[in-house]
Amino acid sequence: LHLTLAISNISVLHRVVEKIKQMPDIYSVQRVIN
């Protein structure tokens, strides 16, 4: 169950990152923060 949840979270995170990449300014800010 934990592994399934982790995979699900990674999939969601990947989609969020792809959306952020469509907004270069925000993506740059996220990269600096991280």
Which residues, 6 or more positions from 26, have their beta carbon under 8 angstroms from its beta carbon? 20
Distances (CA, A) of 6 to 2, 11, 12, 16: 6, 9, 10, 15
pLDDT tens per residue across span 1-34: 677 777 788 888 888 888 877 776 665 666 666 5
Global pTM reads: 0.43
Q: Domain tally for the chain?
A: 1
pLDDT score recorded for residue 33: 61
Domain of residue 24: give its range: 1-33
Total Cβ atoms within 10 A of residue 30:
13
Distance CA 18, CA 31 (A): 13
